[in-house]
A and B are shown apart, each in its own frame.
Chain A
Amino acid sequence: MFELLGIPPQALFGQLLLGLINGSFYAILSLGLAIIFGLLNIINFTHGAQYMMGAFVAWMLLNYLGVPYWGALLIAPVVVGATGIVLERLLISRLYHLDHLYGLLLTFGLALVITGLFRNYYGISGLPYGIPAQLSGGQNLGFMFLPNYRGWVVIASLVVCISTWFIIEKTKLGAYLRAATENPTMVGAFGINVPRLITLTYGFGVGLAAFAGVLAAPIYSVNPNMGADLIIVVFAVVVIGGMGSILGSIVTGFGLGLIEGLTRVFYPEGSAVVIFVIMAIVLLVKPAGLFGRTA
């Protein structure tokens, strides 16, 4: 009936929905980064590698132990989160009193090492991982065919994001976390074990990355570079949302997914850079990010 810039509305709805699905991945990943940065003041460059580990652990669980997708969705984040806790205790915790730059270098180096190890053992081509039988097939929405699995991705990610936000903003545990971010010494004086809080937070952030990795395994190529390809975009999302802002990272994650989806229709060649253009503009106008507070 009517067309918007030459695109029929059905196609547009379809693309918006796809954008929302991609936004789900951005949201979960940037949420993990934001939590870690908020409390640890560490820019966790290992995040992409941990996302990749989530997908690989899901594959290992299936192929070595016969654990299906649903089990992996729970176990993989715990396993990868535990490796995160070990990393935090052994290495990252030694850098808290130093400049951001050291944490960035350490986590970046760790990301390279982890990626290299996986590449060495599993090669670069990747591994097959199927969609769970319960979620194969799809729904015809009239304007597009929506695979059931993609619908599940949006729901799962919304649930995880909202619960995380709720825990941090509305519960007592979250209040401790936020207090420890503001003034760790004072919170410690009230008898709360701040180092343990920090370790668990890092583990949780890493677990979120692994959760996104398991979600991604059935639809994206499971290979050692899958995180490196995505993480740069996720960092841009975090910067746009405002470093350390929980709500900011969720909203910008979904929002930028939508914008990227639209760019794919109107100007596909530009879809890889649109997020970075937005990042540049946001940094010029509001250097702390859309939801960030200036220190």
Chain B
Amino acid sequence: MKTKGIVLAALAGLLMSGTAYATDVKIGVMNDRSGLYSDITGEGSVVAARMAVEDFGAAEKGINVEIVSADHQNKPDVGSNIARQWYDEEGVDVIADVPTSSVALAINDITREKNKIHLNSGAATSALTGESCSPNTVHFTYDTWQLAHGTGRAMVEAGGKTWFFLTADYAFGHQLEADTSAVVKEAGGEVLGVVRTPFPGTDFSSFLLQAQASGADVIGLANAGGDTINSIKQAAEFGITQAGQSIAGLLVFTNDVHALGLEVAQGLVLTSSFYWDLNEGTREWSARFEEQMGKKPSMVQAGVYGAVIHYLKAVEAVGDKDPEKVMAKMKEMPTDDVLFGKGKVRADGRKIHDSYLFRVKTPDQSEGEWDLYETVATIPAEQGFRPLGEGGCPLVE
């Protein structure tokens, strides 16, 4: 019995190349691996998580990190089942990424119930740090409030006083429309009308003509992915932007702009927390990411990287993976990584950092396949996100 134990220990030692680990951590990257959001999350997020573990030097610091992944198919029930299995049977400590707001809210609840940690990067809903906030969740990358305020305010200030919304007819679209309407009205603008479009949609021309007939200065697209691509493509076709109306893409990823092509997307104004070409650090990291994935990282994938780095720092500082201690440490320590710069995790779980207002370049300005944005403005971290205490989060005293 004893010899067997020694042999096993020796074998384990060999496998770990002689390092004795103080802490074992298992991170589950859960996202959409085959559907609508698989380009902006998917395998790229898993690669980003692995890069975080390597760049942090987890092994040298005595933390043994194992990364697993699963496809939630954008369905809350599928996601919940995976989460329960991961937490109950497979010893997963952290679930990272989770795009699709409805799935994220489900994982948020389960993580709290099981007292684990959820590092959300992929979901948009600001409810994660609002009424649904949890002591076990960090919402790392972006949210609907941030997007609505970044783009909405900039458009109104640029003279877009009257708005018409094309809203994807489900929870996310409604939330984004509500958040943006509030900003528009607050900034002295007016909402002339809304059309709720079936999700997912292919032909948006009749909705665009309704928007055109309203005479609004700005057509706000409260949708995402293929819906956004189709609406922008068709708006260009119907000469809507040429006729003087502006399009505000409220949730636009670099992958969407890449898919549209600059000819069609040029001039579009959007808000984002990350772009690969921001500075030397983001360029270097994105080049390494591209080597593995064949394309530039999305904001969500960058967020997975940043969140895992910050989590591992906290585990190192605490010297333990106890969720309460680690969460407390994550909120106490300022965040700092090459992709998002300096920031912090607030009491409500909202991670804040600078956001950027970008304008899509014209084909003449672009110097390469992924040279898509020019920076219009940098929104400081404190202004870019919903003020602490306004979201109705019970954790905020």
When distances are taken between beta carbons in the complex, the residues of chain A under 8 Å from B34 are 116, 119, 124
- Option from B207, B238, B255 in Cβ contact (under 8 Å) with A268: B207
Q: How distant is the Cα of A137 from the Cα of B242 in the complex, in angstroms?
A: 10
When distances are taken between beta carbons in the complex, the residues of chain A under 8 Å from B261 are 128-130
A194 close to chain B: CB less than 8 A: no
Q: How many residues of A contact B (CB 8 A)?
A: 43
- Option from A124, A149, A268 in Cβ contact (under 8 Å) with B39: A124
Q: How distant is the Cα of A137 from the Cα of B236 in the complex, in angstroms?
A: 10
B114 close to chain A: CB less than 8 A: no
The stretch from A14-22, A163-171, A176-184 touching chain B is A14-22
Give B257-284 interface residues, CB cut-off 8 Å to A. 258-261, 263-264
Chain B residue with the shortest CB-CB distance to A233 = B202
| Most B-side CB within 10 Å, residue of A145, A147, A221 | A221
| Most B-side CB within 10 Å, residue of A264, A265, A269 | A264
When distances are taken between beta carbons in the complex, the residues of chain B under 8 Å from A14 are 206, 209
The stretch from A74-82, A95-103, A197-205, A224-232 touching chain B is A224-232
Q: How distant is the Cα of A225 from the Cα of B210 in the complex, in angstroms?
A: 27
Q: How distant is the Cα of A150 from the Cα of B238 in the complex, in angstroms?
A: 9
Question: Do A223 and B226 have beta carbons less than 8 Å apart?
Answer: yes
Q: Looking at the assembled complex, report how far the CB atom of B331 sits from the nearest CB atom of chain A, in whole angstroms.
A: 35
What is the size category of the interface that chain B forms with chain A?
35 or more
Q: Looking at the assembled complex, report how far the CB atom of A267 sits from the nearest CB atom of chain B, in whole angstroms.
A: 10
Question: Do B237 and A149 have beta carbons less than 8 Å apart?
Answer: yes
Question: Do B36 and A226 have beta carbons less than 8 Å apart?
Answer: no
- Option from A22, A128, A144, A265 in Cβ contact (under 8 Å) with B264: A128
Question: Do A229 and B255 have beta carbons less than 8 Å apart?
Answer: no
Question: Do A147 and B237 have beta carbons less than 8 Å apart?
Answer: yes
- Option from A116, A137, A268 in Cβ contact (under 8 Å) with B197: A268
B38 close to chain A: CB less than 8 A: yes
- Option from A130, A144, A220, A269 in Cβ contact (under 8 Å) with B196: A269
B195 close to chain A: CB less than 8 A: yes
A272 close to chain B: CB less than 8 A: yes
When distances are taken between beta carbons in the complex, the residues of chain B under 8 Å from A128 are 258-261, 263-264
Give a binary string over B36-63; 1 marks a CB under 8 Å from any A CB, 0 the rest: 1111100000000000000000000000
B239 close to chain A: CB less than 8 A: yes
Question: Do A261 and B226 have beta carbons less than 8 Å apart?
Answer: no
When distances are taken between beta carbons in the complex, the residues of chain B under 8 Å from A150 are 205, 237
A123 close to chain B: CB less than 8 A: yes
Question: Do A123 and B229 have beta carbons less than 8 Å apart?
Answer: no
Question: Do A219 and B237 have beta carbons less than 8 Å apart?
Answer: yes
Assuming the A-B contacts A145-B239, A269-B196, A271-B198, are A124 and B233 also in contact, with contact meaning beta carbons closer than 8 angstroms in the complex? no
Chain B residue with the shortest CB-CB distance to A121 = B294
When distances are taken between beta carbons in the complex, the residues of chain B under 8 Å from A147 are 237-239
When distances are taken between beta carbons in the complex, the residues of chain B under 8 Å from A185 are none
A86 close to chain B: CB less than 8 A: no
A131 close to chain B: CB less than 8 A: yes
A126 close to chain B: CB less than 8 A: yes
Assuming the A-B contacts A119-B34, A125-B256, A271-B198, are A221 and B229 also in contact, with contact meaning beta carbons closer than 8 angstroms in the complex? yes
B322 close to chain A: CB less than 8 A: no
Question: Do B202 and A138 have beta carbons less than 8 Å apart?
Answer: no
Question: Do A268 and B195 have beta carbons less than 8 Å apart?
Answer: yes
| Most B-side CB within 10 Å, residue of A129, A130, A145 | A145
A11 close to chain B: CB less than 8 A: yes
Assuming the A-B contacts A225-B226, A268-B207, are A127 and B259 also in contact, with contact meaning beta carbons closer than 8 angstroms in the complex? yes
B354 close to chain A: CB less than 8 A: no
Give a binary string over B177-212; 1 marks a CB under 8 Å from any A CB, 0 the rest: 000000000000000000111101111011101100
Give a binary string over A111-147; 1 marks a CB under 8 Å from any B CB, 0 the rest: 0000010010001111111110000011000001101
Give B209-228 interface residues, CB cut-off 8 Å to A. 209-210, 213, 225-226
When distances are taken between beta carbons in the complex, the residues of chain B under 8 Å from A220 are 202-203, 230, 233
Question: Do A125 and B206 have beta carbons less than 8 Å apart?
Answer: no
Q: How distant is the Cα of A116 from the Cα of B33 in the complex, in angstroms?
A: 11
| Most B-side CB within 10 Å, residue of A218, A220, A269 | A220
When distances are taken between beta carbons in the complex, the residues of chain B under 8 Å from A218 are 237
Chain A residue with the shortest CB-CB distance to B209 = A14
Question: Do A18 and B295 have beta carbons less than 8 Å apart?
Answer: no
B316 close to chain A: CB less than 8 A: no
- Option from B207, B209, B263 in Cβ contact (under 8 Å) with A11: B209
Q: How distant is the Cα of A124 from the Cα of B209 in the complex, in angstroms?
A: 28
When distances are taken between beta carbons in the complex, the residues of chain B under 8 Å from A221 are 202, 226, 229-230, 233, 259
Q: How distant is the Cα of A271 from the Cα of B371 in the complex, in angstroms?
A: 38
Q: How distant is the Cα of A230 from the Cα of B201 in the complex, in angstroms?
A: 9
Question: Do B205 and A126 have beta carbons less than 8 Å apart?
Answer: no
Q: How distant is the Cα of A265 from the Cα of B211 in the complex, in angstroms?
A: 11
Assuming the A-B contacts A145-B238, A145-B239, A221-B229, are A125 and B205 also in contact, with contact meaning beta carbons closer than 8 angstroms in the complex? no
Question: Do A22 and B210 have beta carbons less than 8 Å apart?
Answer: no
- Option from B200, B233, B259 in Cβ contact (under 8 Å) with A125: B259
Question: Do B206 and A126 have beta carbons less than 8 Å apart?
Answer: no
Known A128-B260, A221-B259; further 8 A-B contacts with Cβ < 8 A: A125-B225, A125-B256, A125-B259, A130-B261, A145-B243, A220-B233, A269-B169, A273-B198
Closest 8 CB pairs of A and B: A128-B261, A272-B198, A126-B259, A264-B206, A125-B255, A125-B259, A221-B229, A125-B39
Q: Which residues of A contact B (CB under 8 A)?
A: 11, 14-15, 18-19, 21-22, 116, 119, 123-131, 137-138, 144-145, 147, 149-150, 218-223, 225-226, 229-230, 261, 264-265, 268-269, 271-273
Would you list 27 pairs from A and B whose C-beta atoms are within 8 A, ordered by A residue?
A: A11-B209, A18-B206, A119-B34, A124-B34, A124-B36, A125-B225, A125-B256, A125-B259, A126-B226, A128-B260, A128-B264, A130-B263, A131-B237, A137-B239, A138-B237, A138-B238, A147-B239, A219-B237, A220-B230, A220-B233, A221-B229, A221-B259, A225-B36, A261-B206, A264-B207, A269-B198, A271-B198
Q: Which residues of B contact A (CB under 8 A)?
A: 34-40, 169, 195-198, 200-203, 205-207, 209-210, 213, 225-226, 229-230, 233-234, 237-239, 243, 253, 255-256, 258-261, 263-264, 295
